[in-house]
Amino acid sequence: MTYLLRFFLLALWVWGPGVVRADDVSEKEIGFIKTLEGPATIERDKKKMPASSGQHIRVNDIIRTGKSATMGIVLKDNTILSVGPKSELAIDEYVYAPKDQKLSMLTRMVRGTLEYISGTIGKLAPQSTRFETPMAILGIRGTRFLVKID
């Protein structure tokens, strides 16, 4: 099965039932790895660690997948990020405080493939959701997109 097909199947599986609730993740963590196939790492505070299913994600983590890896991430607001092989991304900013009307997300994609399915932030405050790539900054106004960076 090709990596791209596996990536899309992972995205469909992650998007299905079983999304995280905001109270399942501590204040420091912004989400978790729901699925992982193949080797991947998370760099946190300049230290690399192997990624694993169930592992929490924090702001400023740098996520890297190996050449045959795919990863599904669910954030507190139920945003879904499906990360393809040979990808690198960082979530540079994430604020999810709907009661205070503070919502924002800034993700920096260096290389690879990513499918985004918006959660609460993208639906309630689309102007506060941005993805940076080496060539462009994407302002999200929809609920779903796919980006590939070589």
Residue 37: closest CA among 67, 58, 74:
67
pTM of the predicted protein model: 0.80
Residue 94: closest CA among 59, 121, 130:
59
Task: Break the chain into its structural domains and give their ranges.
Answer: 3-149
Distance between CA atoms of residues 131 and 92, nearest Å: 10
Q: In terms of residues, how long is the chain?
A: 150
Tens-level pLDDT at each residue, the chain (150 residues): 455 545 555 555 554 444 444 444 456 899 999 999 999 999 999 999 999 999 999 999 999 999 999 999 999 999 999 999 999 999 999 999 999 989 999 999 999 999 999 999 988 888 888 888 888 666 666 677 777 888
